[in-house]
């Protein structure tokens, strides 16, 4: 395991999340085994203050579970999350509630994450109330107005309900709710993937502006390599609950070392019209985390798999400045992305 935590605001140490299936008396008497889904497996990384760490992988690979486990919206099964020097995983309920003011989340589906019976003023004002951040209703209203305007909505919107807004506006409400308590760290959990492409760009721009203005640090989760490549300072690539490659964004975009990252990169249109990259088509779906493959979890879909890959999990190795990957064939410098003619 390679440490990342030297100057980290957030330090995730060997974090795992396992979900146990239902196992009642009848199951036990009939000798049926309890199902275990290892959604996140022994994940470690750090996020520095002011940084955007992009977390990419296919749907179902454990990205959202990882984001929620960091905030303890889902209780981690093992490992530690240290935020600004405090072991968040060891906090009691009251201390965790106070910590949540500093660590927030923006959800993927703005409509599902907003209470349809509450007005914008109530939705955005709730974190102020929960954390006791204002003394009078007037002060609370003023803070809500300022926040709503900061995300590009108007004070005239305050008494409207979520269904009266477009998808992009609803996501702005979700962003205002996440930021009104003046947090430092935000898990952005696929915040643009439910939006039209034209709206995605506006929300990405808003999030980058707010990051600058409010001094925020993001863990930005997406399945879209173009979004991750545009926004991130560093990128972590996740496959079936594990981080298989991580490094500075330029390194990952121009020199991905893991075959899975290379397959993700092959889907990005080539800027240089004279060069045509190989298009890597992975066969099969993401395997079920109920019964993950042995050895390297990617071996069932990896075009470069050899015998050892089926038997032994690869260790994470340094492959460049701040760049690491886990693959048995790193030293062979193979690439699935070599140009395929002009
Ligand atoms: Fe492919 Fe083997 Fe590397 Fe896994 S360890 S990514 S199966 S070559």
Q: Which residues line ligand 1 (CB under 6 A)?
A: 258-259, 296, 298-299, 302, 304-305, 309, 314, 327-329
Task: Choose one of 240, 296, 301 to mutate for the ligand 1 pocket test, by most ligand atoms within 8 angstroms of C-beta.
Answer: 296
Task: Catalogue the E-assigned strands of 63-168.
Answer: 78-83, 86-87, 103-106
- The rounded Å distance from CA 327 to ligand 1 centre is 5
Q: How many CB atoms lie within 10 A of CB 179?
A: 22
Distance, in Å, from the CA atom of 183 to the CA atom of 195, rounded to the nearest integer, reads 25
Indicate the pLDDT class of residue 1, thresholds 50, 70 and 90: very low
CA distance 74 to 161: 28
DSSP 9: S
Q: Is the pLDDT of residue 19 over 80?
A: yes
pLDDT tens column, 177-236: 999 999 999 999 999 998 999 899 999 999 999 999 999 999 999 999 999 999 999 999
pLDDT 10s digits, 255-312 = 999 999 999 988 776 655 555 566 777 877 889 888 899 999 999 999 999 999 999 9
> Distance, CA 1 to ligand 1 centroid (Å)?
18
Most ligand 1 atoms within 8 A of CB, residue of 257, 258, 305 to mutate: 305
pLDDT reading at 323 higher than 50: yes
Atom of ligand 1 nearest to the CA of 308: 2
112-171 pLDDT per residue, tens: 889 999 999 999 999 999 999 999 999 999 999 999 999 999 999 999 999 999 999 999
Q: Percent helix, strand, coil in the chain (nearest 5)?
A: 35, 20, 45
- Range 8-15 average pLDDT: 97
Token readout for 296 is 């390297």
| DSSP symbol at 155 | G
CA of 302 relative to ligand 1 center, distance in Å: 6
CA distances from 75 to 72, 116, 211 (A): 5, 27, 27
Does the pLDDT value for residue 95 go beyond 90?
Answer: yes
């Amino acid at each position: 395991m390679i440490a990342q935590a030297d100057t980290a605001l957030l330090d995730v140490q060997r974090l795992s999340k396992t979900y146990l299936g239902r196992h009642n008396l009848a199951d036990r008497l009939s000798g049926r085994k309890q199902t275990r889904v290892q959604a996140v497996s022994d994940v470690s990384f750090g996020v520095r203050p002011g940084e955007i760490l992009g977390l990419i992988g296919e749907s179902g690979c454990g990205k959202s579970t990882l984001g929620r486990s960091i905030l303890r919206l889902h209780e981690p099964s093992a490992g530690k999350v240290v935020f600004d020097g405090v072991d968040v995983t060891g906090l009691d309920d009251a201390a965790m509630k106070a910590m949540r003011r500093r660590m927030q989340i923006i959800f993927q589906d703005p409509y599902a994450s907003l209470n349809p019976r509450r007005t914008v003023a109530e939705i955005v004002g709730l974190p102020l109330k929960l954390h006791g951040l204002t003394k009078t209703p007037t002060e609370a209203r003023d803070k809500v107005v300022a926040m709503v305007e900061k995300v590009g909505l108007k004070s005239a919107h305050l008494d409207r309900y979520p269904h009266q807004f477009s998808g992009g506006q609803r996501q702005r409400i979700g962003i205002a709710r996440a930021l009104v308590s003046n947090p430092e760290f935000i898990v952005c959990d696929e915040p643009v993937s439910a939006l039209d492409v034209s709206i995605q760009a506006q929300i990405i721009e808003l999030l980058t502006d707010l990051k600058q203005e409010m001094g925020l640090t993001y863990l930005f989760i997406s399945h879209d390599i173009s979004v991750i490549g545009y926004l991130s300072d560093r990128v972590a690539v996740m496959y079936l609950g594990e981080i298989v490659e991580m490094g500075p964004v330029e390194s990952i975009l121009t020199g991905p070392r893991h075959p899975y990252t290379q397959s993700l990169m092959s889907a990005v249109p080539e800027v240089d019209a004279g060069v045509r990259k190989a298009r890597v088509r992975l066969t099969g779906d993401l395997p079920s985390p109920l019964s993950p493959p042995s050895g390297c979890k990617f071996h069932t879909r990896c075009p470069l798999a050899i015998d050892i890959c089926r038997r032994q999990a690869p260790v994470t190795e340094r492959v460049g400045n701040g760049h690491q990957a886990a693959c048995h064939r790193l030293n062979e410098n193979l690439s699935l992305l070599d140009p395929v003619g002009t």
